[in-house]
Structure 1
Amino acid sequence: MRFLFPSDYFNPKKADAAYLEQVASMEDAGFVTSVVSLELLASGSSKIIPIPYPGSKVVYRGWMLSPSDYELLVSLVESTGASVLTSKVEYLATHYLPNWYPLIADLTPETKFYSINDDLESELNKLGWNKLFIKDYVKSLKTSVGSIIDKPSEIATVISEMQKFRGSIEGGICVRRIEDFVPETEKRYFVVSGKPFAALQDEEVPDIVEECAKRIGSQFFSVDVIERRDGTKRIVEIGDGQVSDIVGWTAERFAQLWV
């Protein structure tokens, strides 16, 4: 197993500073690592350093990639004779909310999906929800007006600000029903080859994560769980494990998942 990290912009043979701790932990655990310039993917001049061994399996650990850039990364890995753990189809299966939502709809807040060209204010009025959480297929707006609205008429502002601060809307618009969550209870879990793991070695994995691991077919993904004020655990997010931050985890514990 080889772990592939984004390279430093000024030093293409070294990992980006944000990932140096993970690189060290992976190598301490006995794994080999490589780096790749994400900036050069589109030009076709990007290289993997060191080159993976033919027949080896590669796990990407880095920034979120668009579907087209992820496809380029897969092609680059395969050009060396190696293969990726997560195909493009599997990447999008957990990276895009509409792909994983139907599989766990009973375990997560109710969600509706729209095109950017829909009459969104009219559609939101039809829902009759008191508050709405707005995001695209991948991210929500964490700056400016934020992502939670209580009036459908505010949707135009949120969309405008998403385009302004994020640069684009990825996929489409997801509208999620607000539930009464306890913010400080949110935790991230990782699932590797169907087995879920918690941030602490002796920490019990909640039943809802075990159930999610059974329903989602991806080899490597993250599951964010939060507690409602009535004590019910709910899944608030699923993400491709390769581009999920290790928030709440140590780099050493994350490396242990693969040993």
Structure 2
Amino acid sequence: MPLLLVPSDPLAPRVPDQHFMREADAARQAGMEVAVVDHDAILAGDVHAAVRRTPASDGGQIARYRGWMIPSAGYSRLDTELGTRGVRLVTDPTAYRAAHELPGWYNAFADLTPASVWSPWEAGRTPTSADVGALTVALGGGPGIVKDYVKSRKHEWHEACFVPDLADVAATARVLARMVELQGDDLAGGIVVRAFEQFAPDAGGRTQEVRVWWVEGSAVLITPHPDAPSGITVEVPSEVRDAVGMSVRTLGASFVTTDLALRSDGVWRVIEVGDGQVSDLPAGQDSAPLIRALATAEARAREVPADSLDKV
């Protein structure tokens, strides 16, 4: 029986966090086993304590995680610790990092997403104008945004995210430095600079984003972005889904999300890619179709012996 791992409730550590309770219920209804892991312990580096309520297996148990975001290094430690209990995450640490961090997914989506450059970076180290000039030269001028490998500081838009003109290296360095400062020890992987593209706004002036959920290369659910106002629906043309699906399959990740937005010139663009295990659903969204798709994928995987794949 496939296993779904969800974060435990901090106040009731034997049961799922309330945010993921409906997904846990949907998993049980879909024939999956559910166990809790301690997300705080994962972040603290104590993965042994984090998985103490995960049932041990004889080595044949496969699992998915659905929960709060985990840094790539923490995910790798979690995978190793689960292995000692005979549990194997379907998404291994290499695949997780590829979908979770921009450098891992960018090449597969380069034609569909804003031009980007990046560099590994140490948390707390302030970028200089020389650092930034060498990094951004390939993008030329024009507006841009800065972020780390995973997240931006979009709520500090003018302070730590948006750059009016990347040709102004000193201004770009100031914004990047502020982003690095605000991220602190949570800086993920490195620094990223992306060309800014103007997207069509909703009635409230915000970019209309839609999140497409992919399981084994197929789109199984389309939802508004979790930050979108409730009740917002956005249709994605089938030809756009087909094009994005080709990139998803090129990436090769088994469970990912793609955040799409309509550019002001009418072209759909991929804004972000994420590992589906740590991508959030909108409030009130029925999670059953997604969980059923995961359960079906795991059931199919168990029907095909791993050593037979080399013979196909």
Q: TM-score, normalised by structure 1?
A: 0.88
Show CA shifts across 1:156-193 (max 9, x none).
44334334433232211111111121244421111111
Q: Does 1:129 align with 2:147?
A: no
Query: SS state of the match for residue 272, structure 2?
Result: strand
What do you get for the CA RMSD once the two structures are aligned?
2.5
Aligned partner of 1:165: which letter? Answer: L
Q: How far off its partner does 1:112 sit?
A: 1.2
Q: Does 1:255 align with 2:269?
A: no
Instruction: Work out the CA distance in 2 between the residues paired with 1:92 and 1:199.
Output: 23
1:91 alignment counterpart: 96
Q: Is the Cα–Cα contact under 8 Å of residues 3 and 35 in structure 2 kept in the other structure?
A: yes
Aligned partner of 1:24: which letter? Answer: D
Q: Does 1:226 align with 2:261?
A: yes
1:35 alignment counterpart: 36
Q: Does 1:109 align with 2:114?
A: yes
1:8 alignment counterpart: 9
Q: Does 1:198 align with 2:233?
A: no
Once the two structures are overlaid, the 10-residue window that deviates more, 240-249 or 224-233, is 240-249
Q: Does 1:187 align with 2:223?
A: no
Aligned partner of 1:122: which letter? Answer: G
Q: Does 1:140 align with 2:147?
A: no
Give runs of aligned pairs for residues 144-183 of structure 1, distance below 5 A.
144=156, 145-151=159-165, 152=168, 153-168=170-185, 169-183=187-201
1:67 alignment counterpart: 72
Change (3 A) 1:158 1:31: same
1:47 alignment counterpart: 51
Q: Is the Cα–Cα contact under 8 Å of residues 161 and 176 in structure 2 kept in the other structure?
A: no
Q: Is the Cα–Cα contact under 8 Å of residues 114 and 172 in structure 1 kept in the other structure?
A: yes
Unaligned runs of 5+ in 1: none
Instruction: Work out the CA distance in 2 between the residues paired with 1:102 and 1:147.
Output: 23
Unaligned runs of 5+ in 2: 122-126, 203-207, 224-234, 297-312
Q: TM-score, normalised by structure 2?
A: 0.74
Q: Is the Cα–Cα contact under 8 Å of residues 199 and 250 in structure 1 kept in the other structure?
A: no
Instruction: Work out the CA distance in 1 between the residues paired with 2:26 and 2:136.
Output: 50
Q: Which has the larger radius of gyration?
A: 2
Q: How far off its partner does 1:25 sit?
A: 2.0
**Which structure carries more helix by proportion?**
2
